[in-house]
Structures are given as C-alpha cells and as structure tokens.
A and B are shown apart, each in its own frame.
Chain A
Amino acid sequence: MRQVLEGSHAISEAVRLAKVQVVAGYPITPQTHIIEAISQYCADGSLKARFIPVESEHSSMAAVVGAAATGVRTFTATSSHGLALMHEMLHWASAARLPIVMGEVNRALGPGWNIWTDQSDSLSQRDTGWIQLYCEDAQDALDTTLIAFRLAETVNLPAMVVIDAFYVSHTFEPVDVPDQETVDRFLPPLAPRFRIDVDHPQALYPMVGPAFFMEMRRSIQEGMEAAGPAFDAIAGEFESVFGRRYSAVETVGCEDADLVLVTTGSVTSTARIIIARQREQGKRVGLCKIKQFRPFPAEVIRAVLGPVPRIAVIDRNVSFGSGGIFAREIQSALCPLEKRPAVYSYIAGLGGRDITPETITEVLRLAEETPMPAAESGWVGLNPDVKP
C-alpha cells in the first residue's frame, strides 16, 4: 500500500515487516524517529519484539550482540557520535558473525557541533567488517532494510542501512509499503547457524591465540567476498517478489559517456535530473550510483567505469590527508586496468551543506575543463566569504 512516510519511518516499517525479535536503541538526532516508531510498535503490539532501552549506543550494540547470539533477529539504529561510540562493538558484531541490521543516518561529527548530513560517520567504520548499503530515498531505505536482513543472515555478517540526515530521514515521500504476506515470502524467519542454547551449554568467542586468529579473520573476508554475489542474488529475488530492482552499482547512460558522475545517497536524485538535462543537450554524460560500499564492488566498477575516459566523483566526506573516500576506492579498484580513466575527485556538501543542481553542474564543468586530474580532491561549493 502506498503511504506518505518519512525516510526514518520507512526503515521502521521495514523492521516491523521483518518481524525483528529484539531491538535496542538510544536516541540521537537525526536517527531518533526510527527507534521511536519501533518502540511504539513494540508498545502497541504490532511488533512482537523485546525493546531494550539502553544508556548509550555502546550498550545498544552490546545488547543486540547478546541478543543475536541467542539466534534471534535484531535491529538497532544510530547516527554520528552514537555510531562512533559503538566502534568497539562493531568489530565485535562482525567477528562474532552475528547478522545484526542497523539503521544509520549519516550525520557529521563535531566539533563544529552539527546535526546535518555527511558520510564521515559511516565511512569512519569502513574497516569494522560491516556490510554498508547506501540509500537514495525512502523507498530505497525500506527495500534495502528488507534486503539487508536477508543478506546479513546469508553471510553471517552485520549490515548497515545508510540514509542521509534530513534529506532522506526527515523528508516525507510516497512509499510503497508491502503487505506482510509478501514480505514473509521474501524474508523467512531467521534460521540461525549457531546460537547460545542453555540445553547445549557452550561459551562463544573465548580467547584465540596467534595460531588461529588469522584464519578467523580470513573467514570474515570470505564472508565479505560472498556478500557481493549474495546481494545480487537476493536483489534478484527481491525484484521477482516486489518488482523493484536494486544493484550494488546502478548506471545511467554510462555506455557511451565521455564523462561519468559518481554519486551516493540522496545526491543521486539531483544528479539524475542534471544528467538527463545535459544528455538532452547532446552531452555524452552518464551517472553511476554506488549503493554498496562494503563489500566494495570493485569488479563491477572496473566493468562499468573502466571504458569511460573521465570520471567525476562527488564525495560527501573526506579522509583528512587523503581525500574523498569513494574516489580513492574507485581509483584503487581501477588500478589493475592497463588503461585507466582520469578520476576527478570533489568534496562537497559536508555538514549538511546542500548539493544543489548548480554544485553538480559545476563539478561536471570542472571535470570537463581540467585536462589532467589533480592529485588532491577539489572542494566545491566553498563559501568565498568565509576566511580563516
């Protein structure tokens, strides 16, 4: 049924439809609406889950780690400083091979105290062993959450469903909310591959010495490697049930393009309009949206972007001392190719600054007009009036 939902509640609805059994949460703007709605579902009985209110995000993740170890479906959500506080427990969740799903609303970290969107929070957790799926709008958020449960439970790794603060989390859009029966067909109850069981006592995760630790880490890497094909297969099944298609990398007009713009998250929607307009004007430009950041779909990137002469990447994030994180990942993925495209890296939209059609047009113009990409990322949309 089509409903007008805000992005946060699209995730909450998906959690209800996924029949999650344990939810822990701690409020933080701009995530709070997700967990607030779920607590309401728990209270009114429309979601038969145990809701654990906790005193911090670290405990929130610890609680779902404990719950997931008993073999139940779990969910939590956070943002920004909350995600940073969870950091230790994120490593725990993945190495414990627990299929936890987390809603993560992209928000900058302070100081400059800032509640608005950028990707520095989720990308700071790049190496924690979590699957990361970025969403463009509310429908994407709902569907991706359902897919995330299936994916996490297939490869026994935790998954983050990432949406932009306010642009997605607090924006109301028409969303097709599927009925329970259909969702049940796509997402069966969790069949845990292991669990804590009082009738079969065992202690999970005791100390592991140098003799076995590397093999354990290798196993996580194999899980991540399996997650790529698993996502494709699950997305295929999702399309057959719901009629909506998702992929790790989505392309628009890349086949004949001289210049391809790479985006993530809600910026993609703005970029779709600019790209369409420029193509109407006869420009050979294309769009590539990266949905899946971990595992990074390097092979698809090579196949899609390898033949393109110029690539412009908009990064709503920065790795200080390096540059735009998506650009660096793409450069790294393209590296094995003999003939590599020129990759132009731009930082834009940090701390909620709007990435407008003008920003995107400027990025395309810069990439077109600059003969050779600079080593450093360029900063687009800086306010000329602000001087250090």
Chain B
Amino acid sequence: MIASLRPTLLFPVTRTSTEANRTGSWRFVRPVYRFKTAPCSAACPAGIDIPTVEMLASRGQLYDAWAHICRENPFPAVCGRVCFHPCENACNRAELDASIAINALERYIGDAGLMAHSPLAAPEVAPLQRRVAIVGAGPAGLAAGYFLTQLGIAAEIFESSEEPGGVLRWGIPSYRLPKSVLAAEIARIEKAGVGIHCGRAITPDALNELAARYDAVLVGAGLAATLRLNISGEASIVDGLAFLRDVQTGSAPVVSGEVAVIGGGNTAIDVARTLLRQGARPTIVYRRRRQDMPAFGHEIAAAEAEGVRIVELMAPVSVAADGDGVRLEVQPMTAAEVGSDGRVRAVPAKQPPQTLRFNRVFSGIGAEVAEPWHRPGDEADTIRLSHCVIRCAPHAMGYIGDPVTAENSVAHAIGSGKQAAIALHALFTGGPEAVLPAVERCRVGPGPALSLEIYLNGERSHRTSRMVTFADINTDYFSRAARCVIPALAPAAAAAGFQEAVTTLRPREALAEAARCFNCGICNDCDNCRIFCPEQTILVDAGGRRSVDLDYCKGCGICTVECPRCAMDMEEESA
C-alpha cells in the first residue's frame, strides 16, 4: 500500500559517452613519465639502484631487492657491514628528518640473500669467447671477475694467499666482518663461473705468461706493503697490517698492558680495537687533530666507546727498546694552515718532546704497493678512467683497486672492477675507441658511479642523468618518521670478544626503514597520477607500467605536481 504512494521521478540522465569530447585537443603541454637519478645511487661508488632496492624491500620483496643489488654489487652482505656509505650523505630524506639507513638495509637484504642461499643471476648476454686473467682476489679482482662473467667473458683469478678476499679477509677484523659472511659471498661468485686459484703468487715473468695466454690481464694486487714511518728505532714497531693478518691466521702473539697505535686512519682503528679485544689497553697516537683523522667517524666513535684512548697532536720522533717494553718519543704538535691536500697541517709546537712508555708500539698508517708493477706505468696507449687504468697494447692490460682509485674503499674497489670489466668488453667488441664512450654511457647521473644495468641497456638506461633534489620531492606525501636504530652490542660486550659489534636489523624495523625512502625519481606505483587525473587518462598496462591517454589529457599538470618523487615532467607540445 505504501508502495502505491511512490511519486513519479523526473530527473535528467544521459547515456551519451563523454568519450566524444576529446579534451586532449586543449593541451599545449603534456605529462611524460621521465625517471631520474636518485642522489644516493650517484653517490654509491658501486652505482647501486638504491631507490628501486628500497622500494622492493619495503614491499617485502627481499629476493628481488637482493637480486637488484647484485646487478651492481655481488657483495651486499659484506658492503652492508664495511661500506662507508656515502649514499647516506647524499640522501634527500635528510632534509625532512634523517637519511635512510641504506647501509643497514643493504646488510639486512644481503643477509636474507645468504640465508636463502640465492645464487647470482646467470649472464643475460651471449658468451664472447674471451678470457681474462686477474691478479689478486681482493674486492676489486673478485668484482672484476663477476662483472666479466656477467658480460659473457671468462675470468680466472690468481691469488698469492691461501684464501681469497684480500683486505676483506686479512685486513678487516672479524668483529666488523665475520669471515663466514665473506666466504659465502665469494663462494657465490665462484659458483657464478669465476675461477679462483689460490696460492698462486704472480711474478713479473708469470704476468708476461698470463698476458700471452689470456686476452687481457687485470692487476688488482692491492696495497700490500705497510708505509714506513721513517723514524729511528722503527724496527721495534710492529706492522699493524701484518698484525691484523696474523690475528686472522691465529699466529699473532698475545699482547697485554699499555700499547700504542700510530696513525689516524681505519687501519689504526682496526689495530687498536683488535688489541683491545686481546686484552691490551691501546692508545692511538695521532700527529694531527682528532677531527682530521681520516678514519670513518662511526669507527672512531665505536673505538672510543669501547675504551680506546686517542692522543691527538703528537708526532712520533723515535722508538727504542726499554727493558720489556718500548720508549716512544713524541713531539707535541699544533694545528697550522690548510695544506695543499685540503687538510689542516700540523707543525711542531714550542714544547719539548715527551717520552711515553708502552709494552708495544704498532703502526697503522696505511700501505703502498708491494711491487712496482702493481701500479700502471706511463706507457702510451694507456686510458686513465675514473676507477681504473686500461692499456690496450701490446697486450690488453688493466689496473684495478686501491693502487688506481681516488679513494680506497671496498665500494670503490667494486666500482673499479666493474669499470674494468665494462672497458674490456668495449675493447673486445669495439676496439680502443669504444672504451671511453662505453664508460661514459653507463654513468649513474653525473657519475662517476657506473651501472652495469645501464651498460646492458636495462630499464635504468632510460632514466635521465638529472639528479632529484629535495625541492623536487612533494613532501605533502611524507610525514616525519624516526630513522631506525641500528642494533649493536653494548661497547663493553663488544670489546670482550670478536663477535660482530653491529648486528642486523630485524624484519619489522627493516621494512619500516625501507618504507621511509622517497624512491627519488622512480615510479613506485603509488598511483597518485592516476587518482588525481581529472580526466582519468592514466592507463596502467598488464605489467604495471603507466602511460597517458593523450586523446583526453588536457595537460593540466596535476599528475606531475602530485607525483611525490619527481618521476614525471611536463613538456611543451611541439607545434
């Protein structure tokens, strides 16, 4: 009965499609998806595609994130522990709250890859029928071997020690890099097809033989000889690098009581922290100011927290045996003007020298090549690249790693091995003229970081070299969120043994940290462009790629403005 009271309704309805109105004809600028370079990836000496890695990690796609790192760096678990992470200094997020903990995330992802026993991807290119011999199984040599196999070139590494790894094995103490982690990542490289021959010291004669038998030889012998202090009584000083190596082999003598470590770099810190773990009380004696120490800041802080003392502005003058111990004479120094290397110089202060007494004195002042031929000469036909040196004739020859890189770090060594692999591939396929353009083409943004993915014309090669700045980020879409706290042992517990001092993020923290990433310059499928488009012109294909339906796009630009991460541009229509 009530239904009968229903009134008739009159209101307008249309079934004519608005598709007839091609609003695209109004447009004079058009949106384009144009992915750009994230500053972190350009700052990474290994050129890792960090925004994509963090995007995948934030979605829990750990294997994909791991595989993505391995395209550019076969050592995620190692670098996640020892890299000095210049990427984090470049991170745009620092201007909003704090940079992404990229290094800790790399470690988390790297460890996940180790736990899953994931093999490295097979090369995507056809084999070249070329063979390269590599001298030295340090990070540069191992990286070169890996990237060469990725480019279809057979690689064999000759290592003088009984174990591969170079400075990673012998120089970096276990509390920073457990040798099981290193061994697992090297085993993976070997499984990917790189031949590693240990106990094969190479002499100049052997080098010539290799040059004759292989299509090219890469020399990556590292800096194996400790620098001399050139002070009297130097024979009483223990070589810090040799000491670190002896600790690894178990042949180091046990040291106790007050000991001195001379130097201010990472070696000095490593030696001091190792001595501390052996039960000694180490003091670092450094000739410049504390803020001038070349060691990484976080390493200095960790050493001090554990109990290492640092004495600054004290230059060693002489050493002499004194009963059971050693007398170290030091000259107090004072800071002077900035030197030619950009660092503040130290000059003797107007104070008399002092004498300090220690049970032992160790050096930790850096190293140089062990043999002159470990460095390139100045022959003709030598191409000096940002991370390596290549000689094209008479035999193709390359130099990689610390002797030729501007900075000595594991990441630079990996970048060096990669650049050499790309250069040799270019040389083999296009001759000497092809080398420079090939290296130039695979720069990440303005460089000098290099990407193998770009060299192989992968998706990254379509990104522009323009670096995304903080001003490019639409911060309306990001709220402040605390950076994760990187888990670590309490200093006293860490100093008690060779257990890892820093530990791996837990899954929840890692996911949250990865989600903080702006993903500068790339599309992370946030769909803002599609949601905000007033004409519904953003199309998504089966592969998840977006495009603009230009029949209806009015060119209003809302999509580009609402893109939080600068993955779109507006460009003028050509007349």
| Residue B21 interfacial (CB < 8 Å) | no
* B3 contact set on A, CB distance < 8 A: 154
Whether B14 contacts A202 by the Cβ 8 Å rule is yes
Contact A234/B2 with A201-B17, A219-B7, A222-B7 known, Cβ cut-off 8 Å:
yes
Q: Footprint of A on B, CB under 8 Å?
A: 1-3, 5-18
Selecting from A43-51, A223-231, A266-274, the interface stretch reads A223-231
- Tell me the smallest distance from the CB of B6 to a CB of chain A, in Å: 6
Cα-based distance from A234 to B7 in the complex (angstroms) = 15
* A225 contact set on B, CB distance < 8 A: 7
* B7 contact set on A, CB distance < 8 A: 155-156, 219, 222-223, 225-226
Contact among B6, B12, B15 for A212, CB-based, below 8 A = B12
Whether A216 contacts B2 by the Cβ 8 Å rule is no
| Residue A337 interfacial (CB < 8 Å) | no
| Residue A198 interfacial (CB < 8 Å) | no
Contact A219/B5 with A202-B15, A203-B18 known, Cβ cut-off 8 Å:
no
Whether A219 contacts B2 by the Cβ 8 Å rule is no
* B14 contact set on A, CB distance < 8 A: 202-203, 206
Cα-based distance from A155 to B7 in the complex (angstroms) = 6
| Residue A97 interfacial (CB < 8 Å) | yes
Whether A154 contacts B5 by the Cβ 8 Å rule is yes
Whether B6 contacts A154 by the Cβ 8 Å rule is yes
| Residue A386 interfacial (CB < 8 Å) | no
The contact string, 1 if C-beta is below 8 Å from chain B, for chain A 188-228, is 00000110000001111111100010011011001101100
Contact A219/B1 with A154-B6, A155-B6, A203-B18 known, Cβ cut-off 8 Å:
no
Closest to A156 in B: B9
Most buried by A among B6, B10, B13, B17: B10
List, sorted by A's number, 9 A–B pairs whose CB atoms are closer than 8 Å. A155-B7, A193-B9, A194-B9, A203-B16, A204-B13, A206-B12, A216-B11, A223-B7, A233-B5
Whether B13 contacts A202 by the Cβ 8 Å rule is yes
Whether A219 contacts B10 by the Cβ 8 Å rule is yes
Cα-based distance from A222 to B3 in the complex (angstroms) = 15
Contact among B1, B9, B15 for A97, CB-based, below 8 A = B9
Size of A's binding interface in residues, CB under 8 A: 31
Closest to B16 in A: A203
Q: Which of A145-159 contact B (CB under 8 A)?
A: 150, 154-156
Cα-based distance from A223 to B5 in the complex (angstroms) = 9
The 5 closest A-B pairs by CB, nearest first: A219-B10, A226-B7, A230-B5, A223-B7, A206-B14
Closest to A215 in B: B10
Cα-based distance from A269 to B16 in the complex (angstroms) = 55
Contact among B11, B16, B18 for A219, CB-based, below 8 A = B11
Closest to B6 in A: A154
Whether B8 contacts A205 by the Cβ 8 Å rule is no
Cα-based distance from A198 to B477 in the complex (angstroms) = 31
Closest to B17 in A: A201
Closest to A226 in B: B7
| Residue A183 interfacial (CB < 8 Å) | no
Whether A229 contacts B8 by the Cβ 8 Å rule is no
| Residue A333 interfacial (CB < 8 Å) | no
Closest to A205 in B: B12
Whether A233 contacts B2 by the Cβ 8 Å rule is yes
- Tell me the smallest distance from the CB of B21 to a CB of chain A, in Å: 12
